[in-house]
Amino acid sequence: MAVSQFSAATSTGRSEALLTRSGLLGGGLGSRGSKSKVLLMRTWISRPVTVRRCFSVNSVSSDSNQTLKDPITQEEASTAHSSFTLDAASIASSIKYHAEFTPLFSPERFELPKAFFATAQSVRDALIINWNATYDYYEKLNVKQAYYLSMEFLQGRALLNAIGNLELTGAYAEALRNLGHKLEHVAIQEPDAALGNGGLGRLASCFLDSLATLNYPAWGYGLRYKYGLFKQRITKDGQEEVAEDWLEMGNPWEIVRNDVSYPVKFYGKVASGSDGKRHWIGGEDIKAVACDVPIPGYKTKTTINLRLWSTKALSEDFDLYAFNAGEHTKAYEALANAEKICYILYPGDESMEGKVLRLKQQYTLCSASLQDIIARFERRSGANVRWEEFPEKVAVQMNDTHPTLCIPELMRILIDLKGLSWKEAWNITQRTVAYTNHTVLPEALEKWSLELMQKLLPRHVEIIEMIDEELIHTIVSEYGTEDYELLEKKLKEMRILENVDLPSAFADLFVKLKPKESPVVVPSEELENSEDAVDPVVVPSEELENSEDAVDPVVVPSEELEISEDAVEPIDEEDGSEKTVNQETKMELPEPVPEPPKRVHMANLCVVGGHAVNGVAEIHSEIVKDEVFNAFFKLWPEKFQNKTNGVTPRRWIHFCNPELSKIITDWIGSEDWVLNAEKLAELRKFTDNEDLQTQWRAAKRNNKLKVVSFLKERTGYSVSPDAMFDIQVKRIHEYKRQLLNILGIVYRYKKMKEMSVAERKSKFVPRVCIFGGKAFSTYVQAKRIVKFITDVGATVNHDPEIGDLLKVVFVPDYNVSAAELLIPASELSQHISTAGMEASGTSNMKFAMNGCILIGTLDGANVEIRQEVGVENFFLFGAKAHEIAGLRKQRAEGKFVPDPRFEEVKEFVRSGVFGSYNYDELIGSLEGNEGFGCADYFLVGKDFPSYMECQEKVDEAYGDQKRWTRMSILNTAGSYKFSSDRTIHEYAKDIWNIEPVKLL
């Protein structure tokens, strides 16, 4: 939200006018004449506009919990609070006002969609007042501010969250009831904002909630995707992708800032000016326009901002001449190229066009956001801009490698536009930027084609080359030049530019350092047509084409070297044959090895360019230090940190599970746990209390009943609320091992079919196995897994012999709103990734908070969750992270012996019991010892027997409901560590160096 440009008096009058107009102060449409105030918002006192209002400003350094006070007396404030109350009548007036005067619907009827938009706009009016006051205060204090850059923000629905944070849920419910609607019916009209995909985006949204709630000065920056990732449909063929329609009816929460836009350039060339500076000129120019979304804190006036960039071309880029000539596509080409940047989250990148679009997206986010941040810094600095103070006012957090271009872009702006030296700019950049690593998967550690980047961002490549050269200097200084092999190894691991020749400054050095080894003489009898002995001539390997990895010199016959151009006869034009003077001694040289691609290693650039690198769970951070970035960790150990992820207890217990929330509050004795999650641990005192256990089970069953209705509506399947609800909902990926889960279900089904009715009922606990998640549109194997799950469900769910003993349901288009229903109803949740491959996970935290028991491997945050909830309250199975490499090696050597049960279940799938679809490719990926797509890389077969034995323990525990309920309570009690409030406090203290700033 841009800071107010008016005087405080004008700001006061504007806010009063806004409230009066919208009905939040007396006099609105339908008002009963009641006076009102905005609860937990800035209290405005009516007074002549000639009286200037001002803010008292305290030094941030002297008070870590800053407060804003109006220069009005306590008596005035007390009078203000007693004179104004925000009640249902004034809220109803506000809603009616928006239904009539800011309509997106026809005026005839006040139906649910219209009621939602009018209600949301009413809430937004209330938020805007706090929003303006928050940033007016930040502007005046000139506090250090954190900026969180992420390609994803998976917000979910905003209405209930906003009114909950404002503590107005009851008032809005009554107002809507008086207008003929129920709040819950109105709320479900809101589509989920399609700005993210999975845990990365949901984490970013939890962080914004915590930042606002804890009063930290911060903004989020992202892109405004018109069509999101995709909307998932499930058909007989499996997953089908269609465009998201979340913006079709508009977005009542956002405010487009047409006056806040920045130029973004692509292509062009770099030239040296008469001033000696490098100038990026020509190319394709677009503009990024800001769209702001308010993010309110809980029980605080602080309302921060999520600024999303949309892209467009200038009007002058529309070719009117071409359009009038009938060349309509050509006329609109520049506009379409600009707008499509923000069409889709993660466009497919198998084509060159897709790669270009992804890189454009990443640069747009970085460039527009940094220009905005720098403009704010300059404005707050006034006439005397001191660039060395930039890191003392700005902290930029890169959420994964997508915003890596922040580093060369900040350098470019500081050097090319602000006139700083390289040394000054590099010092500022490194002190400003920090990087969160979210993955150890090679495909997610981005590497961009150097050629592509040179075309699209030529100036940035120059800067990256200079950063790479600076890094080489550092490596040579650190490791010296005595041990050539060590130095070569470090350069290969750590350089930003991959498969790129060393800069000229180092080329001579490495020629001198390269060890001289004895020539390897190839026996003459091994050379073709070499019956006559010839004297060998040694040729250094670096002179041979495509032999970067060669170390030993290669020997070829001297005659071959003596053949010059003049010694080769011209090609005979009739038969095209090429003849040489010395046909008898001609050696056929091997086919040239393709030159390895030159790439930019973005993760290495993040580590080099930032002052902090953090993993997102204890085990993940250790893997980051020991494996992923071990060479950097040895060089700069002080850079590396752990910040275990967290989720907001407001959305993920208090709002989405109100029954459980009330039980927790009643037994703890206060609602303090919502802001201080450590209070959840007090539940441990009551775990064996029968009254608590009875209430706990009743709340779980009521949540399950909601899911029964939801599943019937979304899938057509009827399930029993008396069965265990066993849920795995997350992005579909081989390493997350939905395949292990469904094969376990298939084995369970097979065993049931082999038993009598009485046997299966005594042996198995009834289960509803629920899946949800999206497979990336080009990830063929993941889409096969979705198809397999739905086929298994179609067979099992219609088997009269099995009935309610086993159901398998795939929830289409899983999103935040679906999670808010499924997670409170869950009893067992599966977090079963191959150990060492899941960075953290956040859904595991949400499930534990809601009293769900986890079955999982020692991976990601599972390790810490198990420690906190108690090892006896977590179902553990599978290989450990340190064993994985050895197990894969064992497989490659052909030493793996599969469990007979695993072979049995594969044959059962191949028998065709689940339909006519050919699953050879899917099952084949679990077989063999090597090869792409084979050899069971994710160790499904290895962990299968351990998994099935663990599932037997689950059945046994669930059969004792008193024991199960105790485990459930202890999961909620032990989840306090996984509040995003704790995580944000750690980021603020250890990485960003920012302090809370509270408005009173």
pLDDT of residue 198: 87
Q: How big is the CA angle at 596 (ends 593 and 599), to the nearest 5 degrees?
A: 170
pLDDT digits (tens, 9 = 90+) for 603-613: 999 999 999 99
What are the counts of helices (DSSP H) followed by strands (DSSP E) for the chain? 38, 26
pLDDT band at 171 (very low <50, low <70, confident <90, very high): very high
Cβ burial 607-631 (10 Å sphere, 16+ → b, else e): bbbbbbbbbbbbbbbbbbbeebbeb
The average confidence (pLDDT) of the chain is: 86
DSSP string, 146-165: EEEE-S-------HHHHHHH
Percent of the chain with pLDDT over 70: 83
| Residue range 382-397: mean pLDDT, rounded | 96
* Domain-ending residue, one of 347, 368, 391: 391
Q: How far is CA 249 from the centre of its chain?
A: 26
| Residue range 572-592: mean pLDDT, rounded | 50
Cβ burial 292-330 (10 Å sphere, 16+ → b, else e): bbbbbbbebbbbbbbbbbbbbbeeebebeeeeeeeeeee
pLDDT of residue 542: 36
Residue type, 971: N
Tell me which residue of 906, 829, 874, 856 sits closest to 971, measured CA to CA.
874
Query: Is there a domain that residue 722 lies in?
Result: yes
Query: Is there a domain that residue 1 lies in?
Result: no
pLDDT of residue 586: 53
Query: Is there a domain that residue 960 lies in?
Result: yes
pLDDT band at 515 (very low <50, low <70, confident <90, very high): low
Token pair of 291 as six digits = 């769209």
Domain that holds residue 726: 649-978
User: Is the model more confident about 590 or about 289?
Assistant: 289
Instruction: Judge whether residue 576 has pLDDT over 50.
Output: no
Cα(978)–Cα(974) distance, integer angstroms: 9
pLDDT band at 273 (very low <50, low <70, confident <90, very high): confident
Instruction: Judge whether residue 44 has pLDDT over 70.
Output: no
Query: Is there a domain that residue 538 lies in?
Result: no
Out of 17-21, 80-84, 100-104, 801-805, least confident range: 80-84
Instruction: Judge whether residue 580 has pLDDT over 50.
Output: no
End-to-end CA distance of the chain: 19
Query: Is there a domain that residue 338 lies in?
Result: yes
Q: Yes or no: say if 582 and 563 are a contact pair by the CB < 8 Å rule.
A: yes
Q: Which residues are catalytic?
A: 438, 730-731, 736, 842, 846
pTM for the full model? 0.85
Cα(673)–Cα(790) distance, integer angstroms: 40
State the CB neighbour count (10 A cutoff) for residue 221: 27
User: Is the model more confident about 455 or about 46?
Assistant: 455
The sign of the CA dihedral 956, 958, 961, 963 is positive
3-state secondary structure of 498: strand
| Residue range 544-571: mean pLDDT, rounded | 37
| Residue range 945-961: mean pLDDT, rounded | 97
* Domain-ending residue, one of 391, 409, 431: 391
* Number of structural domains found in the chain: 2
Instruction: Judge whether residue 282 has pLDDT over 90.
Output: yes
pLDDT band at 513 (very low <50, low <70, confident <90, very high): low
Token pair of 21 as six digits = 């107009």
Place of tokens 């917000």: 155
pLDDT digits (tens, 9 = 90+) for 793-818: 999 999 999 999 999 999 999 999 99
User: Is the model more confident about 583 or about 872?
Assistant: 872
Instruction: Give the helix, strand, coil percentages of the chain, each rounded to 5.
Output: 50, 15, 35
Cα(565)–Cα(587) distance, integer angstroms: 16
pLDDT digits (tens, 9 = 90+) for 88-112: 999 999 999 998 888 788 887 889 9
Token pair of 146 as six digits = 């954190």
Place of tokens 């198809």: 787
pLDDT of residue 73: 37
pLDDT band at 335 (very low <50, low <70, confident <90, very high): confident
pLDDT digits (tens, 9 = 90+) for 422-452: 999 999 999 999 999 998 877 678 999 999 9
Query: Is there a domain that residue 659 lies in?
Result: yes
Cα(83)–Cα(76) distance, integer angstroms: 10
Query: Is there a domain that residue 188 lies in?
Result: yes
pLDDT digits (tens, 9 = 90+) for 486-511: 998 999 999 999 999 998 888 777 66
| Residue range 374-381: mean pLDDT, rounded | 96
pLDDT digits (tens, 9 = 90+) for 635-661: 999 999 999 999 999 999 999 999 999
pLDDT of residue 587: 61
pLDDT of residue 863: 96
3-state secondary structure of 231: strand
Instruction: Judge whether residue 170 has pLDDT over 50.
Output: yes
Token pair of 216 as six digits = 């930290």
Instruction: Judge whether residue 484 has pLDDT over 90.
Output: no
| Residue range 530-542: mean pLDDT, rounded | 40
Cα(902)–Cα(804) distance, integer angstroms: 25
CATH for 735? 3.40.50.2000
Query: Is there a domain that residue 474 lies in?
Result: no
pLDDT of residue 691: 97
Tell me which residue of 899, 889, 902, 900 sits closest to 929, measured CA to CA.
889
Out of 111-115, 212-216, 792-796, least confident range: 111-115
